[in-house]
Amino acid sequence: MPVRNSSRRVVITGLGLVSPLGDDAATLWDALLAGRSGVTPLPEMPQDGTLPTYAARAEGYTGSVDNFGPLEKEPQKAIRKGLKLMCRECQMGVAAAQKALSDAQFATAGYTPDRRGCIFGTDYMLTLPDDFIAGVTRCSANGGEFDFSRWGTDGMSQVTPLWLLKYLPNMPASHVAIYNDMRGPNNSLTHREAASNLALGEAAFTISRGHAELMVVGATGTRILPMNAIHALQQEEVACNGVDPAAACRPFDRERSGMVLGEGSAAVVLEELESAKARGAKILGEVIGWSSSAVASPQGVADRRTALGNVLRGVLRSAKRDSASVGHIHAHGVATRSGDATEAAAICDVMGSAEKQPPIAAAKSYFGNLGAGSALVELIVSLLALNDGQLPPILNYKTPDVDCPIRAAKLGDRAGESFINLSVTPQGQASAVMVTQV
């Protein structure tokens, strides 16, 4: 557990996002308050039941440089040129980061390049089948069986030489640093759903220990591209077909049937408090604690309950707070039967029975699992809730489950003055951060 340097406080001064419910904070918040789901049908998917026929797409992101927020001429030119070297989730991550920097008025920050850096949480970035079609076709005689022996001589030459650069998980942080002349600390954390909070915690600690004055923290992911969707279906419980897409994601509800696939990204700008005040930056919240834990048996079986309990206790220790000070918890809330039950048990282990708990939010009920991007979008939702005062209820939560004894957020619940953001992977890697109003 990193020890915070209490003399250097870390605050959030900007945010940006690409999500199934809009690509700016105001649009996202309006959708949440209206109870609108971002899960829609996917008519292009096979209708034979092999894959989900609905998902949460970030439809507002079109791949145009116009999706990257306000840009000066030179960065705009560089990003437009660099788009061909980025896969979709990489593009979304860079877009969210550029929006966050604009929101934080980065151009007026004045920090030297060596004192500003970037950390990104990323997912596994899997290639699109289209990248190999030409090569596979070349190695298939008259459209027949693929001849593996020809791939090295005939097929590989049909793959663009820069193909790999599109899918390297360290590229979002690299692009953001290059476009914004950030020569300070730079890292990429590939820990699936836990990556967002891990990246935020590392960036906050980097500022707290004095190694930077400004850090961009981003996270991006997808579960809806073909290879990613197949990977999810092989590893996790995915919500079944034959239901209303908008009602498919039901975290902690007795009738939940699995996670919904989605895509999205988010980014925030962190700064040292006194430096941010000196330049007149708006303060959206203060990061006061962070924690991580990975727990699995010698055979590799994840123990998510213990990992989540560890990070809940750890983040309270890091923040020097007790459970009574928590305004709300933003749960991982992935809507799988075992995952939600395990998370609810961990929350009860640390926070007590439902009557003693703060409200539990779960924004995945609105937009599904965005992979590595989920927790940072959810953190932005909780930041908006702190500012507005009210907490979005868990969408589609109708029938409490005795296996999930939580205080599920409902219409009218207050967000409080602080929150804990939780995330966990199927492999037992958990992470948490705690944020409070300043």
Q: Identify the pLDDT of residue 5.
A: 47
**Domain parsing of the chain, residue ranges:** 11-126+167-436, 134-162
Q: Identify the pLDDT of residue 360.
A: 98
Three-state secondary structure of the chain: CCCCCCCCCEEEEEEEEEECCECCHHHHHHHHHCCCCCCEECCCCCCCCCCCCEEECCCCCCCCHHHHCCCCHHHHHHHHHHHHHCCHHHHHHHHHHHHHHHHCCHHHCCCCHHHEEEEEECCCCCCCHHHHHHHHHHCEHHHCCECHHHHHHHHHHHCCCCHHHHCCCCHHHHHHHHHCCCCCCEEEECCHHHHHHHHHHHHHHHHHCCCCCEEEEEEEEECCCHHHHHHHHHHCCECCCCCCHHHCCCCCECCCCCECEEEEEEEEEEEEHHHHHHCCCCCCEEEEEEEEEECECCCCCECHHHHHHHHHHHHHHHHCCCHHHCCEEECCCCCCHHHHHHHHHHHHHHHCCHHHCCCEECCHHHHCECHHHHHHHHHHHHHHHHHHCECCCCCCCCCECCCCCCCECCCCCECCCEEEEEEECCCCEEEEEEEECC
Give residue 6's pLDDT band: very low, low, confident or very high (50, 70, 90).
Answer: low
Q: Is residue 9 within 8 Å of 48, Cβ to Cβ?
A: no
Give residue 32's pLDDT band: very low, low, confident or very high (50, 70, 90).
Answer: very high
Instruction: Indicate whether 2 pLDDT > 80.
Output: no
Mean pLDDT, range 364-385, rounded to an integer = 97
Query: pLDDT tens digit string along 124-137?
Result: 888 888 888 888 88
As to burial, measured by CB atoms within 10 angstroms (0-12 exposed, 13-18 middle, 19+ buried), residue 323 is middle
Average of per-residue pLDDT values in the chain: 93
Q: Identify the pLDDT of residue 1.
A: 43
Q: Could you tell me which residue, 186 or 47, shows the higher pLDDT?
A: 186
Mean pLDDT, range 291-320, rounded to an integer = 96
Separation CA 377–CA 387 (nearest Å) = 16
Place of tokens 């600690």: 205
Query: pLDDT tens digit string along 343-365?
Result: 999 999 999 999 999 999 999 99
Q: Identify the pLDDT of residue 322.
A: 95
Instruction: Indicate whether 158 pLDDT > 80.
Output: yes
Instruction: Indicate whether 143 pLDDT > 70.
Output: no
Q: Identify the pLDDT of residue 124.
A: 82
Separation CA 274–CA 214 (nearest Å) = 12
Mean pLDDT, range 52-77, rounded to an integer = 92
Q: Identify the pLDDT of residue 109.
A: 85
Query: pLDDT tens digit string along 217-260?
Result: 999 999 888 788 888 888 888 888 788 999 999 999 999 999 99
Top-level class of domain 11-126+167-436: alpha beta
Query: pLDDT tens digit string along 167-203?
Result: 899 999 999 999 999 999 999 999 999 999 999 999 9
